[in-house]
Amino acid sequence: MKNYLFPLALLAFGGAAHATSYYVSDCGSGASAQCVAGNDSSAGTSPAAPWKSCDKVTAQFPGLAVGDQVLFARGSAQNACKLSYLSNLKSTAANPIVIGAYTPTWASSTTAVPILNGTTSTYTLGLLNSGNSTHDEGYVIQDLHFVGPGVSAQMPALMMSNDVKYVTIQRVEIEQSSLGIQCNGGTNNPLSAGSNGLTEHIVIRNSNIHHNRGIGILSGCNDILIENNTLDNNGIGMLDHHIYIGGAEISGVLQTVTQVVIRSNRLTNNSPYASASAASPTPGGCGAVAIVAHGLHDGLIIEGNTVIEPTPPANASCWGISADSGGYGNKEGFTNVAIRGNTVINFGVGIGLDLCDTCVIENNYIYSEAPAPSGVIAPSKYFETPLAGDTLINKLTVRNNSVYLKNPTFGSVGIRVSRDGTGHNVASNLVYFGTGSTSATSCFYTSGLAAGAFAAFDYNLCYFAGTTGTWDTARGSLTAQRAVGFDVHSQSTNPNVTPSTAPYALTTASTSPAVKAGHPSLSSRFAIGGLQRSVTPDIGAYQFGASVVVPSAPTGVGIQ
């Protein structure tokens, strides 16, 4: 994996290294009453005499020197901004060009960040060449507010493609566009000398992406970190996700995307717009997957995210997190995936996984008031037959997850591991079904797999608050499960857990039978939130009494 520390290093280095700062100010829609416009005839190198327009920036951008800055005035606003095809062959990862904000004399440090009002048919800001794929690198986009045209929006607010590398996007706000940020990992354009066509080494952090008519973040880029962002009210239908990690193609050939980290984001109200023309979102209208990954991937971490539908959706196709087939053809799959430490609230399916070799789902808390909910589903697309060339599920670990399904029905499953592979581990999971359970509600679903497909299956706890359902679809009772050597130490007793809608935690008392009852050797070393477990781990995502937080390393894809 490439070094995620590059943005920190270059920003610390940046201030003294910038050769020239260019200033821009206009007073378009949304500007403050104190706004003073610049003039494109000015040199632009003084805050007292800024440029006026995005057109001027576009024209001058290829000639900027390494480390230069383009700064828009706080309190200013650009109309019909078209920074559509920005490329500079001098910039470097170590000394990037910065596009950001400055405080003019007529404003203050608390004045709103600059607004870039976009158009219907162009990117508001595009880091890409318009022709052949040509390598360029080293950009920081920060402290800007992108506003699209709303119902007429057709293009992403911010686009990266055609072999641009080492880009940091931080502290931006994006709304009313057809798509927030798109990172097109590959290209179908001819490659110039020195270009591999790949866009990679990207950081998107501390940003607010909301009320867009399509996907929030769409990426097929290598070595990307998506961290500490807020995504809210994005999308219309089942193909509009808050975060969509797809594939990358070079001249039509699907590439393996490597090292993607989606961490500590907050995602609420996915695909709530009833139609492209709807003026406002509909609470509970979700019909998509909030975080989804398709294609070919090696190294994917989805951890520490809070994924919530505040209004439980009526549509069972509203899912929290899933990595699975996107119908790309006859070659899709994942290796080295970790989905861990996430809080997933009010979805039809909490977490899904498919086509995955050597993967882990651990320390997640799944709570749902949605109808007919399920917790962890692997394969997530059990109704599809994998195509020739697809990766099959193998060596899957599902452990220390807490699943609380308030309104289960006959179709609800706590944890499903079926169809493919061997060497699976299912351990230390807590499943709680509310009073709506039926005799066909299942703690576990392993039908289609022989007992020998599992390396371990034990130290779980499953409880039915209502009608007692099936322990496992392959073996109806806990007694039958134990007869094949599974769940010898597992429990069917009330765990005495207390779910809450805020701050979404499934707390346990010291007297809970889940405390100190997890698998002694196969439990995760850390609990949700990075809390270090004791030598006697609890069942479920939480560890009673734990207080030591151990942060996850940026490259920590492996099982912990």
Integer Cα distance of 117 and 79 in angstroms: 5
Rounded to 5°, the CA angle 346-554-558 comes to: 75
Amino acid of residue 415: I
- Roughly how many angstroms between the first and final C-alpha of the chain, as a whole number? 18
Q: Are residues 496 and 400 in the same domain?
A: yes
- End residue of a domain, out of 199, 234, 269: 234
Does residue 261 lie within any of the structural domains?
no
CB atoms within 10 A of CB 21: 17
Q: Are residues 229 and 289 in the same domain?
A: no
Q: Are residues 376 and 459 in the same domain?
A: yes
Tell me phi and psi for residue 497, to 5 degrees. -95, 155
Tell me phi and psi for residue 478, to 5 degrees. -60, -35
DSSP-based three-state secondary structure for 529: helix
Integer Cα distance of 4 and 202 in angstroms: 9
Q: How many residues does the chain have?
A: 560
Q: Are residues 79 and 221 in the same domain?
A: yes
Integer Cα distance of 296 and 255 in angstroms: 7
Pairing of strands 374-378, 145-147: unpaired
Pairing of strands 253-263, 296-303: parallel
Amino acid of residue 111: T
Peptide bond into 272 cis (omega under 30): no
Q: For residue 241, which of 279, 264, 267, 220 has the smallest C-alpha distance?
A: 267
Does residue 198 lie within any of the structural domains?
yes
Give the start-end residues of each E strand in 251-380.
253-263, 266-270, 289-293, 296-303, 306-308, 319-323, 333-340, 343-345, 349-353, 356-362, 365-368, 374-378
Residues in CB range of 514: below 8 A, 6 or more apart: 430, 461, 491, 495, 497, 508, 538, 539, 540
For the chain, 560 residues long, give each residue's pLDDT as a single digit of tens: 344 434 443 444 444 455 899 999 999 999 999 999 999 999 999 999 999 999 999 999 999 999 999 999 999 999 999 999 999 999 999 999 999 999 999 999 999 999 999 999 999 999 999 899 999 999 999 999 999 999 999 999 999 999 999 999 999 999 999 999 999 999 999 999 999 999 999 999 999 999 999 999 999 999 999 999 999 999 998 899 999 999 999 998 889 999 999 999 999 999 999 988 898 999 999 999 999 999 999 999 999 999 999 999 987 889 999 999 988 776 899 999 999 999 999 999 999 999 999 999 999 999 999 989 999 999 999 888 888 889 999 999 999 999 999 999 988 999 999 999 999 999 999 999 999 999 999 999 999 999 999 999 999 999 999 999 999 999 999 999 999 999 999 999 999 988 877 767 787 888 999 999 999 999 999 999 999 998 999 999 999 999 888 876 654 433 33
Q: Are the CB atoms for 24 and 73 separated by under 8 Å?
A: yes
Q: Are residues 311 and 197 in the same domain?
A: no
Integer Cα distance of 300 and 334 in angstroms: 8
Element (H, E) at 405: strand 402-405
CB atoms within 10 A of CB 226: 28
Q: Is the dihedral of CA 179, 182, 186, 191 positive or negative?
A: positive
Pairing of strands 156-160, 179-183: parallel
Q: Are residues 216 and 293 in the same domain?
A: no
Q: Which value, in Å, is the radius of gyration of the alpha carbons in the chain?
A: 25
Q: What is the pLDDT of residue 506?
A: 82
Q: Are the CB atoms for 443 and 463 separated by under 8 Å?
A: no
Does residue 336 lie within any of the structural domains?
yes
Residue ranges making up the domain that contains 405: 250-256+282-507
Does residue 502 lie within any of the structural domains?
yes
Rounded to 5°, the CA angle 204-235-148 comes to: 70
Q: Give the CA count within 13 Å in the CB-facing half-sphere of 166.
A: 23
Q: Which residue in this structure is represented by tokens 């390494």?
A: 66
Q: How many domains does the chain have?
A: 2
Q: What is the pLDDT of residue 542?
A: 94
Does residue 516 lie within any of the structural domains?
no
Q: Are residues 183 and 318 in the same domain?
A: no
Q: Are residues 108 and 51 in the same domain?
A: yes
Q: Which residue in this structure is represented by tokens 């290209």?
A: 187
Integer Cα distance of 426 and 448 in angstroms: 16
Q: What is the pLDDT of residue 550?
A: 80
Q: Between the CA of residue 474 and those of 160, 450, 451, 486, 511, what are the distances in Å?
A: 48, 9, 9, 12, 32
Q: Are residues 212 and 287 in the same domain?
A: no
Q: Is the dihedral of CA 8, 9, 14, 15 positive or negative?
A: positive
Q: Are residues 317 and 431 in the same domain?
A: yes
Does residue 552 lie within any of the structural domains?
no
Q: Is 316 left (phi over 0), alpha (psi -120 to 50) or beta?
A: alpha
- End residue of a domain, out of 491, 507, 523: 507
Does residue 314 lie within any of the structural domains?
yes
**What is the model's pTM?**
0.95
Integer Cα distance of 488 and 458 in angstroms: 6
Q: Are residues 188 and 287 in the same domain?
A: no
Q: For residue 347, which of 325, 382, 323, 322 has the smallest C-alpha distance?
A: 322
Structure-block tokens of residue 552: 């996850």
Q: Are residues 206 and 304 in the same domain?
A: no
Write out 226-254 in H/E/C secondary structure: EECCEEEEECCCCCCCCEEECCEEECCEE
- End residue of a domain, out of 507, 528, 546: 507
Tell me phi and psi for residue 11, to 5 degrees. -70, -35
Does residue 277 lie within any of the structural domains?
no
Q: What is the pLDDT of residue 377?
A: 98
